[in-house]
Each structure stands twice: as C-alpha cells, then as structure tokens.
Amino acid sequence: MTSPSDVQPAAAAPARGDEKAVVLVGPMGAGKTSIGRKLAKALAATFRDTDAIVVREHGPIPELFRTRGEQTFRELERHAVAEALAAGGVVSLGGGAVLDPRTREDLRAHRVVFLTVALPAVRGRIAGANRPLLEGADPVAEWRRIFDERRPLYEEVAGLEIDTSTGPISGVVARIADWVRQSAEEGSR
C-alpha cells in the first residue's frame, strides 16, 4: 500500500471529441455503478468505478476510513478519479469525489451526468449498506444532510441531471446514451 504522501494524482488527460469520458456523479444510492455498467455496454465503452479502483489498490473503504481516516481516503480517491478520467469511457465517481476542487476542474473537460434520487427511494437502497459516512443513529437523516451539502457541487459539474427514483434503469441508460451521442455530434461540428 502507498502512503498518502506517495499518492501523486495523475493529470486528467485533455478530452477532445469522443475522447471525453462520460462521468456519473451523485449521492450514495443513486445507482451510479449499476447504471454505469449498463451505459458502458450501450456505448461500447469501458467502465471504471473509482470506489472499486480504491478498493482494488488499497482495501475496503470502511477499513480505510477506520484505519487511515477520511482525509487519506479522499487523497486515494483523488488519484483513482484522475486515473479513471485519463483512461476515458464511462466513469462512476464515489459520492464525495466532487468535494475536491481539482476533480471539479478536471470534470469540465468531460460529459458529466448528475444522478439524483429522492429520499423515499434511497431508504431501501442504503438500508444495511456498509457505508462509513452513514454510520450512526439515523442513516437516512445523515444521507440527507450529506446530499444537501454536496448537491450544489453535483449541479456545478453536471451537464445533465436525471432522477433515478422510479422507472427502469434501461430508460435512464437510454436517455444518457442519447445525450452523449448528441453532445458528441455537436462537438464534432
């Protein structure tokens, strides 16, 4: 494992035309990973989940929070985000990745979709989840507080916002894929 001082975020590659990544941002439980996998298939692109990159390289996220702290996790997350953006394709960011101003700046070069979800729908999605930031007496209230705090950042970076509270995932995927294709056509003119 690397120490926080060893982590040097890779610079996100400049994106041009179809080299832009399609990036999914949003709160815990919005469906970024599930939708991202299906979207990658629909676009014939690779899929990268920054939380999965952190886990693969450094171990389980709850363990990182316990043993190394949130600040170290955020540094490792920043490195994973830069790596995923540079590789392109479809990228799912962890819910807190937008807290880093460098990440928000990097996202300007990509197609970013804000996946949102209503509180009643997210209740079932986060129940029993092993999410360090939701530990405590009322995980739903904590989710709401975190979402309210981060929402302006998601809105700042996104070119498209979609609510995932209801309806089939396939509809969300189709809508994003159409938007990506349209923005690629507009970018090539």
Stretch (H or E) spanning 103: helix 101-107
In a domain, 178, yes or no: yes
Give phi and psi for 161, each to the nearest 5. -120, 130
In a domain, 35, yes or no: yes
Tell me the per-residue pLDDT of 102-123, one tens digit each, with 9 for 90 and over: 999 999 999 999 999 988 787 7
Q: Could you tell me the pTM of the whole model?
A: 0.84
In a domain, 139, yes or no: yes
In a domain, 3, yes or no: no
pLDDT of residue 135: 64
In a domain, 6, yes or no: no
Tell me the per-residue pLDDT of 37-79, one tens digit each, with 9 for 90 and over: 999 999 999 999 999 999 999 999 888 988 999 899 999 999 9
Q: How many domains does the chain have?
A: 1
Q: Which domain holds residue 123?
A: 18-188
Strand, coil or helix: 3: coil
pLDDT of residue 28: 86
In a domain, 8, yes or no: no
In a domain, 5, yes or no: no
CATH number, domain of 182, equals 3.40.50.300
d(CA 163, CA 167): 9
